[in-house]
Structure formats: C-alpha cells, structure tokens
Structure 1
Amino acid sequence: MTNGAVIESTFLTNSFYSGTGYRNRRVLTNVTSSYQSQRKTAKMLECVFNLWPESLITQAIIVGITAGFITYHIFKKRPALPPGPRGWPFIGNLREIQKGDPLELFSTWIEKYGPVITVKFGTWKVVILGRIDVVMEALVQKQEAFAGRPQTYSGDAFTAGSKDIVNGQYGPRWKLHRKLASKALRQYMTSDNLPRKISQSLNISTALMLEEHGPIDPLPFISLAVFNILYGMCFDKLCADTKDETFTFLMDSLKGLVENFGSGFLEDFIPLLRYCPTAKFRRQLKYIAALTEHIKKEMEEHKETFVYGQSRDFADAMLAAQKEAIDEEDPALLSQITDTHVVQTMGDVFFAGIDTTRNTLHWCLLVMALNPDIQKKVQEEVDSVIGRDLNVSLSDRSRLPYTEAVLHETMRIRGIAPMGIPHETLYDTSVGGYELPKGTGVMIFHQGLHFDPDQWDNVNEFRPERFLDASGKMAPKPKSWLPFSAGRRVCLGEIIARPDLHLVLAGMMRACSVSLAPGETNDFKPAIPGFACLPRSYKVVVESRS
C-alpha cells in the first residue's frame, strides 16, 4: 500500500466515526492531489538533474546562454507605438469612442497628439494616420509593408477563409487573384457594355420615379438603378421594377448583412463562442450564404454557356482571364485560385459596389434638393451633352466637368467609409518617424484628409468649384482627396465606380428635377455618427424635365 493510500484509509476511518466524512473527504482530496503534484515535480527535477552535464565548462556555457536569452528579452528595445489617448484597462478607448461621434474624437486626438496616433479598441491597438504626407508614406512609398489585412475569425467565416480580394491576406496567391480580376475588369471596360447598361438602368429607374405621385423616398429607385448596372455588368441581366423578386431578395439580404454588422462580433474576442455562436453571428452566416449561393448559381449558368472570345459580361471576362492564366502562370499557384475565389471576387464587385454607389448617389440627390443653384448648373451642363433618351457613353464624361466636381465634393464631405478598411503591417516598418512592429493594425482617417484645413479652404462649405481649374475643366486630383484609397490596396472597383457614379448622376439630372417634400427638413448630417457615413431617410418631389 502506498503512502497516499495509507493516508486516505486512515483519514476516512477517523472521519466516519467523527460524522464529518463528506467535508473531510474534500480536504483529503486536496491533500492527496497536492501530494501527487509534489511527487510529479520531484520526478521532473530528478530528470533534469540527471540530464545536467558534469563538465564545468558545459555548465558555464548553458548558464551563459540562458542568462543572455533572459537579459535580451527583458532589456531589448521594444518599438514604442505612436502617442495617443491613454485608455482604460481591457476596454482601451472604447468608452470614449462609444459616447459620441468617434470621427470628431479622432480629429481632436490628432490635433493634440499629431498626425500619427495610437487608439486602443479594447486590447487591439490601432495606429491611425490623419495627414496626407504620412498616408502617402505608408500606402505609396512603403506600400508592401502596409498591404496586409487584419485576419479575424468572423472575417474568415464570412469570406470562405479570406478568399476574397478585399479581406484576403497579401501574398503570391492574392496578387495573382487581383491580377485576374483587374484583367477581367479591363477587358469588360474595352466594350460598350457598361454605358449601355447605365442607359438601360437610367431609363427604367427614372420612368418609375416619374410614375409616382407626391413625395417619394428616392433610395429604392436609386438602388434599382445601381443594382441593374452591376447586375447587368456582372451577369447580363436586368430587373424591371422595385418589386422584382430577384431585386427584393438580394437587396433585403444585403440590407440585413450591413445592418447586422453593427459594432462587430463577440466571436472575434471570445474564442469559446465559436463553438456556440451568438444569434447575431448565425444571422450573418445566413445572409452571407444567401448572397453567395446566388452568385454560385449565376456562375454555374455562365460556365454552361461560356464561349471563349465572346464576352457578355464581367462573369465571362473573369472566366476568360482564368482560362488564359492557365498557360501563363505557375500551375501550382494557379491551382490555388479556385472557383470559390472567383465567386468571392464577384461578390466583392457586385455587393460592395451596390452599397457604396447607391449611398453616394443618395447623398448626391440630397445635395441637389438642398441646393437648387447647384442643381441648375448641373442640368444646364447635362442638357448640352445627354439626350432625352438618356443614352450615355464614357466619352460624355469629359464634357461634364461640373457634374463630376459635384460628385467629387460629395465624396469629400460625405464619404461613405470615413475610416476605410483596416490595414496591417506585414513586417517591421515605420511611418512618420515612429517604428511599427509586424502585425500592427493601421487605419487611414479619410475624413481627416478630406477636412484638413492645410489642404482645403473653408472645409465645411460644399463648393464643387474647388475641383475645377480656371477654364472650368477638371483640375488635377487634389492629393488629399482619397476616397478610393491608394497603393496595393487601392479599390479594385474604382475603374467601374467613377464612370458609374458620374453618368448616373448626370442622367438623373437630365430626366428629373428634385426638391425636398413640403415640411421636410434635412441638415445634411449623417444618420448615425460613426464608421459608416449614411444619409438619413428623406423624401423628395420629382418632376419630369422632358
């Protein structure tokens, strides 16, 4: 019988007669557990001592290496992140951020601490860049170092393991993936498909708007116009009205997805919840699955009818680029660009394009309603370029500089994503004189750039003329105007978004005049202060200009 067994037997016998068996059994369990733990520790130490070399020289070398290793990690220079607000334990600066408008708070901190600051989102420390010189240093001069994306559990779950372009991690596979998508977009833009889709979409949406009597919410009609352009561009299909089943299904799913994001997902911060997800996380997976399945179905239909050399839409162009790459690229690398990657790319272009474009145009229409003088100038310009049939071409854009300036000023003063999409440093680097270790989260404060008094005069004034030269033509792009970002992570869809926004705004102003509905007031402020700049719902009266 072992010593532990003897102790347990004696203890239980005495406890039985004393009537305190249950309580003492718990004490005994602790004593026994402690005893067994001590025996294991003794055996481990005995093992270590047996391995310890007898040679004094070898012992000295081991002790020296160990001491050096410990000293290095205690006293090594650790990069000091840029200054910023101190924050609270565990929650960081979240308490201040959630109290009011975080963008105004970031502006205050940048004014106090400088153009490179550190903000703590809980335990996640993020460096925010708020002036154009440090932004260009990061995104252009050191673009590869800042080309990473923070990888989160929710991000992986929602993009099939970060297989899209927006959230995918920078590397050889991502670069090939981006190359294929860029090539497909360029191929699509060489045809007249895009202006034809814009013309068709404009005719459908403006006709529906003019059929309405009395004040209307313009967002459903703007959404239909943008949806049809991108649905036509991607899959060569159109929806006839706002009650179309495909349109309502996809827009409802997209609305649910955007609204459900809110302030993020607890699964990113509490790993145990990944085994028992929250209702919010499950809802998001449901929305993602619905949207993804629709794109999969469309891509399968395209594969069945695809003919190389006959590009009907972006889906065909993507399939053609994928086919051409087979003979041009490393087969081992190309094999990693699966059908899932293609579906995720289509989702990036289609759904991200719809949401940002329709909300930008929603702001633009509000600008027209609030500023009749600006609306009149736009209409005088578009009347000389676009006919009543609303057939537009890409060449029309150069003859519509004031309309484009209105669009640029709208994106400056009411950019949809004022903080952009987070970056992450891929290796140790620096910006603005501060060292940033590998894996540092970095955000670009686009609103700070667009409201920088050193770059813009009268920053709060809506003035399209600031984008025009003395002759009334578009001036060179101001360096601090950066709604599409820059560098390796510049917006993939910019090549489509800019003509899309420009020609839709011009076409709507050619067909309609808009004014705020009687009794309607709007101060041009975002619906909710925060990381998404969206207009509040408003109603307008629409009149035909034919």
Structure 2
Amino acid sequence: MIETILHSVDVFTILTFFITLLLAYIIWDNVVRVRTNIPGPTPWPIIGNLPSIIGTNNASETFLQMQKKYGDLVYLKFGKLPIVVVYGYKNVHQVLVDNGNKTKFRPRHLLRFLKTIFPKEAGVIFSNGQEWVDIRRFSMVALKDFGVGKQSIEEKIQDEVDFLMDLFSKQEKKPTDCSKMFPKATSNIISSIIFGSRFDFDDPEFNNLLGNIATIFKYASAFRLENCFPILDKVNPFNKIKLVVEGRKKIQKYIASRIESARCSFDANNIRHFLDVYLEQEGKPDSKISDECLFLTIADLYIAGTDTTSVTLQWSMMYMIKYPDIQKKCQTQILEVIGNDRQPVVRDKDNIPYVMATLHEVQRISTIAPLSVPHVALEDIDIDGKTVPKDTIIITNLMSVHLDPSVWDKPEEFRPERFLDKDGQFVKKEGFSTFSMGPRLCLGKQLAESELLLFFISILQRFNLTKGDDNDELPMIGIQTGATNQPQPFKICFIPR
C-alpha cells in the first residue's frame, strides 16, 4: 500500500508539500501565534532570528542596524523565545519607568542559563517578586551602613587610588596595558565591603577570581543557542553557558570559604563586613530573606562591583589620549580647584563642572552596558501604539538612548560641553542612562560614581596620558562581550606631571 502511494507521488509534489508546510509555519509563527503589531525580520523555522545575532562581532551594532530598518521596537524570535528590543529614550523610559511595575521582573523561567545558575532562588540581580523587594532594600541599607555615600568609603577608595598611582609611577613612562590593573583596583574596593580587606595584586587566588568574573561577563548572554535549545547543554562541546556556570560556582565556593573563616571571629555586636551580615542573618526564623538568597546576593555584588567600573575607566583613558585638548582642560580645572598637594574627595565634584561633564560624556558615548539585563512583560503592554505580549523578553537598548538625536545634539561627537549650561555649570541630562532606569536601577550606582570620580581625577592630577604606540589608531568602536562594551586593546604611557 505505502509502496504504491510512494510510486504515485513525484519529486515535485514532495517539494511542493514541504515548501507549503514551511510557508504555513512561518505565517502561523508570525501572524497567528504572535499577538503583536511590532515589526521585525522574518524568523527561520525552529531557530528563529538567532542567525542574525550569533557569530556577529558586535551584537550592539547589529541591533542598532535593526533599529534603522524596523524602527524603535523590533520583534525577534530566538528559537521559541519571543523578544522585543526597545530603542530610544522615549520608548525605553516608557518601558522601564512608566510601566516599571509590569516590566521589573527577570525572565528566569525562560532563559536556560538563568535556570541553570539559579534553580531555586537568586540574588539581587535576578530575583523576582517579594524576594527581590526584600533583598534589594536589605542590600541598600547594608551598603549604606558600610560607608557607601559616606567618608569612610571614600577613604577606602583613596587608599586603592594611592596604590594604583604608585603602580603607574613605577612603570617609568613605559607603555602599559591598564586593562589588567583597573579590575584589580575596583575589585579591591568591593572586596573591602564584602570581605573587610583588600587583595594583593599578585595574589593567585585573587587573579583566579578576576579570571572567573571576566569569563562570566564575556559569555553571559541571552543570545546563545543553549538558551533556546536546552539539549545543547549536554551535547555541545563548545557550550559557553557551562563556563559561566562553572565561573559562578567557583566564586561562590570562594565566598563560602571566607564565610567559614569569618565565623571564627564573628561578633554580633561588631558587624565588620558583608560576610558578618550573612552570619548575623543566618538561620533567623523571622528573617524575610533566606540564607541562600543573601549568599547569592553577596556573589552578585562582588561580580558586578568589579567589571563595569574598570571598563569605564579604560574608556576614559582612551578618550583622554584621543582628545589631548580635553585632557588638558580637565587637568587645568583640577589644578585650579584641587591643586596637586591633596587627594580629591567626592564633594569636589561641585566645583569641577568640566571634569564632571567629561566623565559623563565618556560614559554616554561608550555605553559600557549597551543592552540592559533582560526584563519580562508581566502582562500585555502598549508601547508607542504597539503591543508587547505577556511573557515576552524585553531588551532595552541603552546605547540607542545615548545616541538618540531627539535628546542629544550630534550624538556621535565626543563633546563634554553638552553637559554644561550657558554659565559653564554641570547639568544632569534626563537621557543619561548609564545605570539604566526604573525599579531596576543599578544598586551600585552611588559607589560606582564615587570610584569613577576619584580614580579619574587622581590620574589626571598626577599624570599626562599619551599613546603607548604612536601608530595606534585608538579605534573607538568597542568589542561587545556577553554583557559589556569594552575598548579594543591599547597601551598608555603615564607621564608624571
């Protein structure tokens, strides 16, 4: 019977059947099943739009090209995962602020690597619901208690600044790759809050921790095949999610070992650092926060407090070399207001408007986190007349906010003056979104701002910055890792002033 049917069907009929089936799937997937009027590229069967992103050298630039073609909201499919990318200040503000209560959750239940790292509970970055409300409030109070926003944290930053300045001086004007030094300095500041002490730069355990953090930031991305096809977790020998999970576990294992060491000298009447906070809360029957959630939050704070600030400092050095006239203007103002005999302090920011403007312009134009940590729509949301369906993953493109011509005049230009008023005073810009916006605004914003300010001022106060290689073109297009936009490798000469 079957043999008779097969003989009666020619190749053309078979091809026609499969083509019709393919077209029917595409129409169903994009018209019937998708309850949205948001434009976007036609997805491939099964794999969706993944080929458009995976393998690209700069995912951020690829997404900006999509904006030019499809507009300020773009609908994508990554396997079965529905994703909407949101562009421009007006739309991003509408998603994260105006609809903040509908978009404040993370898609832990949708993304494979998040389900793998956080099978039950998560820390402050990826937790949801009341768990997130409680741990965020708790963390903010704890950070304040440990000096964030106060003189005590300034002193810790200043100590690390002095150590780094001494290290730069010892380079004796030789070309230096500061990409290895800045992470150690910024990590030591968050280490002092979490562990109560800093690491020696040559400590092998410290360098292993930093290597694991670099791996996490390089490969932790929603745009990976394994997020869409869990089977690849087991069969793909080049699975990068495994590296992220392993790196995270190694950091957590180290933190657990430090907790056990701190247990020996713990005194509930003398809370010294974040590990003591954990020990104080441990096992409390009336605590709103579980031990596991607090433990994972410690890891979150340590990882997040290391990478992003150091990358921003690298960009600031590159721009100062690229624009020596702006470097000179900053140094002149620093000399006039602070001089060269004392350390800068955070309150100096009120009297150095051009320096503040320059630092903000570096953050705007480099946008080290061009794509936000993913959000998820808790219900259907109307954005600019278009529908973002419930359970859609939302990616806000912060780079597009910083390049939005409706907010910034000639946004492609590096021009610190855009942050100054007609009287030359520093002004905050509504579209400045380095730390995102809305309920999920970066928890470490205040600490990061203090670090950036004191490191940036101190370096320009003590050194002239020049190219490490006269032939280096210093390309301003960054390298997009899993999470951050990093400058391409360059060397710098620190010339004592």
The verdict on a shared fold, with TM-score over 0.5 as the criterion, is: yes
Shift of 1:78: 7.0
Equivalent pair of 1:82/1:116 in contact (CA under 8 Å): yes
**Structure exhibiting the larger radius of gyration computed from Cα positions:** 1
Cα RMSD (Å): 2.9
- Distance 1:219-1:386 versus aligned 2 partners, 3 A rule: farther
Note the alpha carbon deviations across 1:251-281, whole angstroms, 9 max, x for none.
Answer: 1222233334477555433334556674644
Note the alpha carbon deviations across 1:46-65, whole angstroms, 9 max, x for none.
Answer: xxxxxxxxxxxxxxxxxxxx
| Secondary structure in structure 1 of the residue aligned to 2:165 | helix
C-alpha distance in structure 2 between counterparts of 1:489 and 1:342, whole Å: 18
TM-score normalised per structure 1: 0.77
| Secondary structure in structure 2 of the residue aligned to 1:154 | helix
Shift of 1:513: 1.6
Which one is further off, 255-264 or 142-151? Answer: 255-264
Partner residue, 1:249: 208
| Secondary structure in structure 2 of the residue aligned to 1:541 | strand
C-alpha distance in structure 2 between counterparts of 1:112 and 1:131, whole Å: 14
C-alpha distance in structure 1 between counterparts of 2:61 and 2:149, whole Å: 43
Q: Which amino acid aligns with 1:463?
A: R
Equivalent pair of 1:184/1:318 in contact (CA under 8 Å): no
Equivalent pair of 2:334/2:352 in contact (CA under 8 Å): yes
1:354 matches 2:310: no
1:88 to 15, 27, 44: 44
Equivalent pair of 1:196/1:391 in contact (CA under 8 Å): no
1:196 to 155, 169, 176: 155
- Distance 1:422-1:243 versus aligned 2 partners, 3 A rule: same
Equivalent pair of 1:159/1:344 in contact (CA under 8 Å): no
C-alpha distance in structure 2 between counterparts of 1:145 and 1:111, whole Å: 27
Partner residue, 2:94: 137
Gaps of 5+ in 2: 1-30
1:413 matches 2:372: no
Equivalent pair of 1:148/1:423 in contact (CA under 8 Å): yes
- Distance 1:99-1:512 versus aligned 2 partners, 3 A rule: closer
Equivalent pair of 2:334/2:457 in contact (CA under 8 Å): yes
- Distance 1:166-1:233 versus aligned 2 partners, 3 A rule: same
Q: Which amino acid aligns with 1:142?
A: N
1:179 matches 2:137: yes
Equivalent pair of 2:59/2:480 in contact (CA under 8 Å): no
Equivalent pair of 1:127/1:443 in contact (CA under 8 Å): yes
| Secondary structure in structure 1 of the residue aligned to 2:422 | coil
- Distance 1:77-1:92 versus aligned 2 partners, 3 A rule: closer
1:481 matches 2:432: yes
- Spell out the pairing of 1:333-348 with structure 2 (5 A cutoff): 334=287, 337-348=289-300
Q: Comparing both structures, which one devotes a greater share of its residues to helix? A: 1
Partner residue, 1:391: 343
| Secondary structure in structure 1 of the residue aligned to 2:466 | strand
TM-score normalised per structure 2: 0.84
1:103 matches 2:60: yes
1:295 to 252, 255, 273: 255
Percentage identity across paired residues of the two chains: 28
1:534 matches 2:486: yes
C-alpha distance in structure 1 between counterparts of 2:382 and 2:418, whole Å: 33
Shift of 1:307: 3.8
Shift of 1:440: 0.9
Gaps of 5+ in 1: 1-74
Q: Which amino acid aligns with 1:415?
A: T
C-alpha distance in structure 1 between counterparts of 2:97 and 2:450, whole Å: 24
Q: Which amino acid aligns with 2:153?
A: L
Instruction: Select the structure with the greater relative contact order (CA < 8 A; seq sep ≥ 6).
Output: 2
C-alpha distance in structure 2 between counterparts of 1:411 and 1:293, whole Å: 33
- Distance 1:116-1:256 versus aligned 2 partners, 3 A rule: closer
C-alpha distance in structure 2 between counterparts of 1:441 and 1:450, whole Å: 22
